Amino acid sequence: MKLEGPQQHKKENPPLELTDLDVRGREIAGLRPRMERFSRLEVGRDVVDIIRAGDIQCSSDLDEAFVFINPSGGTEELSVEPPHWRSITKEGVHAERKTPAGSDFYYVANTKGAGYLKPTLKGGHSLDEYDSWKRVNEYKEKGAYGIAGVSDFFREESDILAKSRLLADAGLRTELYYAVGELANVYYKGERQRVVELRKNGVLPLPRYLKPHIGIRLLKTNTRIAEVVESEDGRSRDLFTKAFETFNRERADKKLLLPEIRLGDAAGERLYFLEFFRRMGENLAALQNVGFIGWHMHSANVTLAAEIADIGSYEHFSYYGDDLEHNQAYSGVRRGTLKDMRDFAGDLELLLSAAQRLGFSAGTRAELVKAYYDAFQAALDEKKLEAELVKKSDLIAANRKIADAILLKGKRLSGLKKGFEIEDWGLGL
């Protein structure tokens, strides 16, 4: 009788892990946009318990922006752009909303929570090749890659639709939310799957950790400062070209007394950057007039139309109560506000660094900073500031010290979230 040797088993490859794609911070350099397939989500079946805004006029059906990544079965192609790993943008939108200052206009619809898009650009494997979407973030919180949760859109008794309108009506150039809903079904490996089944199968965490939601927001552009700073020159130029086109669309829609601009024309380039600084000064003032602290602002959530995105974590100072990390006063200005001033100036510095690298005519720093100061000061409302328990003169003085240090003297102010203190800035605040 012939004895057989031990059966030779083929060694199986270990399952792919989405954590293998993780890096510290944002990842833009070396990654190029790429088309990916998505499937439309049906309202009432896939997206439920929707809250919608009724104050937006749009030339198209915004519900069509409810989409989810479906690499092997999707019928709609959209461009995935780094570092937008859980949101996808539809262009060609023309939406209008009336504000106390007149009509405002938006040209893209961005879907937040549309699934994990990073595998499209990195790793060599489709999202459909990964079994689990679970993740643990830097705060040790359980969630899922590419999926938005309740806290992205709801904070205590506030919702993101109301918050975006409060800030927009205060004069902040910001994202405007159209709708938010809970996900009942998503696409997994080419098929529509119930969220409850994906939990049972270990693809998604339990509901106490994550209740998948999806939101649609409107912006003038979803391109951020970080993208032109960290991308290779060709892509950065393309993004600025689109930003100039957006500038011209807004100019025409609002009948602004500004000339049309184009990249390559020195006067047009100077006007773009001058207007950007002016608009950012007004943005900073708008936050003060309603007593809001951003705290988490950085170059990846300021768009090339001078809009502040990702405002879900922005809160009125009273939200923090006696928390000195945010509310301790220095020279009459709250610590959280000083951080925002530092972040605004730092983002403007990064924008200028990109302009210099690409050889644009941005104008002199002195005239840009003056436009920023003047717009900030002019937009501050003393009566509103009195209600927010802060003095206009204190805000002006603090902002000038911080912006002077960063934008005119080239000083680096250490990050408060990294353990440094206001005193470490050496500005006498």
Tens of pLDDT, residue by residue over 346-405, are 999 999 999 999 999 999 999 999 999 999 999 999 999 999 999 999 999 999 999 999
Residue by residue, DSSP assigns 193-252 as EEHHHHHHTTSS--TTT---EEEEEEES---BHHHHHHS-HHHHHHHHHHHHHHHHHHHH
Q: What is the pTM of this model?
A: 0.94
Give me the pLDDT at residue 249, please: 99
Q: CA torsion, points 234, 93, 248, 254, in degrees to nearest 10? A: -160
Q: Quick one: CA torsion of 251, 257, 262, 267, rounded to 10 degrees?
A: -150
Phi/psi for 174 (5° steps) reads -150, 170
Longest CA pairwise span in the chain (Å): 100
Cβ neighbours of residue 287 closer than 8 Å, sequence gap 6 or more: 167, 170, 172, 293, 294, 314, 337, 340
Q: Is the pLDDT of residue 192 over 90?
A: yes
pLDDT at residue 12 in the model: 63
Cα–Cα distance, 414 to 424 (Å, whole number): 7
User: Could you tell me the pLDDT band of residue 23, with boundaries at 50, 70 and 90?
Assistant: confident
pLDDT of residue 157: 77
Distance CA 304, CA 354 (A): 12
